[in-house]
Amino acid sequence: MKDLLKVSGLQLGYGRAAVVKGIDLTVPEGSVVCLIGANGAGKTTTMRGLSGLLKTTAGSIHFDGVDITNAPAHRIARLGIRQVPEGRQVFAEMSIEENLRLGGLQAPGPEEFRNRREKVLARFPRLQERLAQQAGLLSGGEQQMLALGRALMGAPQLLLLDEPSMGLAPLFVEEIFRIVTDLKREGVTILLVEQNAQAALEIADYAYVLEGGRITMQGPGAEIAENPQVIAAYLGGH
Ligand code: ATP
């Protein structure tokens, strides 16, 4: 399987503060790769670097063989990377329909746009029922569905999911992980950041542990889930 995403020596920070201190990671096409780590480890910062929202200070990012290091975010999106940001960040004042339309702006034509919209609404019947409703009035779980739907309107090859289950009721958490599994089955490649390490490691083909901006451990999801240090630090010590 080819490496869809290849990150080498990546460094990121805010002003003079280095946050991500030279990480290497690869995401093979068709796989789910998960990034776990404590609060402040640099997971969100990594995602922002990959989607072009934050400039890198060193290292390189290649997507499908193309060097996208410091490429503008809109170009990265057009190439096929879509991010579902931490905290969802739907456009609260806009309707569900309008949020989805924004996600599909780069669709190559009206027919493709309609196909994508139909697929997204079939996947998320709750959104279908409330198309004209203001996004800010949705529950947290519904907003997460909308954020996912908006990203899927871009028909991404690589989906960057930043804490998709954060703050959600257990039923929605289950639903999110079911959707991620479905997407994987459909061939979408996924990089997943999760606090819910247990559930994430269950579906991950491969996992990286990020600590203080450095990757301290990596391996197949099932192996990482059995590592005693990981169990003690991230899986509640059981
Ligand atoms: P969390 O789960 O809490 O989101 P994380 O692993 O995603 O944790 P980041 O959000 O990447 O961590 O933050 C890493 C470090 O960068 C933290 O020390 C944080 O305070 C700092 N940081 C994050 N965003 C900014 C910002 N906009 N300006 C300055 N420092 C920031």
Render each residue's pLDDT in the chain as its tens digit; 238 residues.
899 999 999 999 998 889 999 999 999 999 999 999 988 999 999 999 999 999 999 999 999 999 999 999 999 999 999 999 888 899 999 999 999 999 998 889 999 999 999 999 999 998 999 999 999 999 999 999 999 999 999 999 999 999 999 888 888 899 999 999 999 999 999 999 998 898 999 999 999 999 999 999 999 999 999 998 888 888 876 5
Ligand 1 centroid to Cα of residue 116, in Å, is: 33
List the chain domain ranges. Answer: 3-88+158-234
Ligand 1 centroid to Cα of residue 103, in Å, is: 26
Q: ipTM of this predicted complex?
A: 0.92
Nearest atom in ligand 1 to the alpha carbon of residue 15 is 29
Nearest CA to ligand 1 atom 25: 14
**DSSP states of the chain:** --EEEEEEEEEEEETTEEEEEEEEEEEETT-EEEEE--TTSSHHHHHHHHTTSS--SEEEEEETTEE-TT--HHHHHHHTEEEE-TT----TTSBHHHHHHHHTTT-SSHHHHHHHHHHHHHH-HHHHHTTTSBGGGS-HHHHHHHHHHHHHTT--SEEEEESTTTT--HHHHHHHHHHHHHHHHTT-EEEEE-S-HHHHHHH-SEEEEEETTEEEEEEEHHHHHT-HHHHHHHSTT-
CATH of domain 3-88+158-234: 3.40.50.300
Nearest atom in ligand 1 to the alpha carbon of residue 38 is 6
Nearest atom in ligand 1 to the alpha carbon of residue 86 is 4
Nearest CA to ligand 1 atom 11: 42
pTM for the structure as a whole: 0.93
